[in-house]
A = this chain, B = another copy of it.
């Protein structure tokens, strides 16, 4: 089953929603964590963007796999993996936790869910964090179990998400605060639902822990969504860039540290918390980062898709590269994300972006988010 030119195999895992996603007309996939992520539904990314800002969408984000860490040393292992101080995290709370190696290079940037004092899920971006956690636990002889439960997350995103979710799961949904989660009944089971998601309008994520119920969940949300003009969707690149939401593998890799991408507020640097890479991160903080993430606004008409990074120039000097760029129909300019070299990163700095179509596009830097 070759779907839209991506050669399929069992190695690239379908999700329990993929049949439904195909039935509603998916036009392409990406691959995240060895699993399919739908990438296009509406005729254009722009229509999808306007819809996401106005109504509600259902997203198959099963590729956000869960690295489950449980046992007596679970909290110790999770804290060891991240520069963020997680000591005050409550059960029922989510936290964005950058994960770094001993050189302070970013390995992933998951959302952590604290299910119990001794049980955590790391809802991961695109790298096998499971293997890192396993290696650390085995290497250090920790008393934990590390595995990937078959949780398949369905996101409901957009301004009408709350009303829709209340219709399906009851008024208790309204009590769930941002980056908190609760447990709700579905078909006789208890399922974890968190408020959040990878979009500016936000919404909810249903961490479905029973594959056999996946199509029933999809169908239930879909039916309840009809009165809210629900459509199938996926992380929208225009919305994501406007909101300054970074993407692991795009804006950050192992070559980057969290301070460069403006995550200082999630890094404990005072020595009160022990984690891998602390000395490296403290040294980087002491001497100052050499580049930092910025927004780039640039002209020349709608830019082409950004599959290879585009150089960002000040005169003949390359000061950065746009790793994700797109035309913003609302700002009526191209917008992009780029790490920018020290000395050139002030908002307002004039730059030129060299896009793949050969154009030299004038623009300037700005702070994130774009609006």
Contact = CB atoms under 8 A, between A and B. Distances in A.
Interface of A: 1-12, 14, 27-31, 34, 39-40, 101-102, 107, 126-129, 131-142, 148, 247-250, 254, 276, 304-309, 323-324, 356
Contact of A5 (B6, B142, B308, B323): B6
How many subunits of this chain does the assembly comprise? 2
Nearest to A40: B7
Contacts of A247: 9, 11
Contacts of A254: 148
B139 A307 contact: no
A324 B135 contact: no
Nearest to A102: B138
Nearest to A11: B249
B34 A7 contact: no
A103 to B, nearest CB: 9
B4 A6 contact: yes
A246 to B, nearest CB: 11
15 contacts: A1-B304, A1-B308, A5-B5, A5-B28, A5-B29, A9-B247, A9-B249, A11-B250, A12-B31, A101-B134, A107-B131, A128-B132, A131-B131, A132-B134, A136-B138
A134 B108 CA distance: 14
A28 B1 contact: no
B28 A2 contact: yes
A234 B137 CA distance: 37
A10 B139 contact: no
Given A131-B127, A139-B137, A6 B29 contact: yes
A10 B249 contact: yes
Given A8-B307, A11-B248, 20 more contacts: A3-B5, A4-B6, A5-B28, A6-B29, A7-B29, A8-B305, A9-B249, A9-B306, A10-B306, A11-B249, A34-B127, A102-B138, A127-B128, A131-B132, A132-B135, A136-B139, A138-B139, A138-B276, A139-B140, A148-B254
Which interface residue of A131, A133, A137, A254 has the most chain B CB atoms within 10 A?
Answer: A131
A248 B128 CA distance: 14
A305 B1 contact: yes
